[in-house]
Amino acid sequence: MTVRPIRLFGDPVLRTPADPVTDFNAQLRDIVRDLEDTVREPGRAGVAGPQIGVSLRVFSYNVAGQVGHMVNPVLSGFEGEETDEEGCLSLPGLGYSTTRAAKVTATGFDQHGEPLVIHGTGFLARALQHETDHLDGRLYIDTLTGDVRRQALRELRRVVPR
């Protein structure tokens, strides 16, 4: 079991779009195993490749006791909106009200290259969107607007070492 350290805000890998996975090999299976081991830690709902320093389009999730992963995800079928508190392992201790689609479909592949479709609602939909954002070099604070965004940026300046 390998629990990998989480990269924190300020690490360039978090702001760089991840590369598509092209080889479904033993190295990818090792990365998926590490992601799933890492997301099993208490209080974790998702971990994306860039958060463990791997710039590949792969993430793991742990929602309602269900642990899984997806490679090269593409999101579609966005329906409705839900606003709820959202946090991020790469921004520890911070959480802000964030609006996401209430339903979403993620299509991609498993670690062996087999097609995979996940229909997410509620918290699973939020996790799929959050982790896919990581693969695009975005953090949830990038979705914030107005006073909430200003508050988040002030707090980041206060807590992030320079």
The tens digit of pLDDT for each residue in 96-145 reads 999 999 999 999 999 999 999 999 999 999 999 999 999 999 999 999 98
**In this structure, what CATH number is given to the domain that contains residue 122?**
3.90.45.10
Look at residues 1, 8, 139, 118 and name the one whose alpha carbon lies nearest to residue 68: 118
**Quick one: which of 90, 10, 1 has its CA closest to 44?**
90
Of these residues, 36, 79, 82, 131, which one is catalytic? 131
Domain around 68: 12-159
Tokens of 13: 């890998």
Residue 3 placed within a domain: no
Residue 66 included in any domain = yes
Measure the CA–CA gap between 122 and 110, rounded to whole angstroms.
22
69 annotated ligand binder: no
One-letter identity of residue 102: A
pLDDT for res 60: 98
Q: Is the residue at 6 inside a domain?
A: no
Domain assignment present for residue 7? The answer is no
For the whole model, what pTM was predicted?
Answer: 0.95
Per the structure, the count of domains in the chain is 1
131 is catalytic: yes
* Predicted confidence (pLDDT) at residue 11 exceeds the cutoff of 70: yes
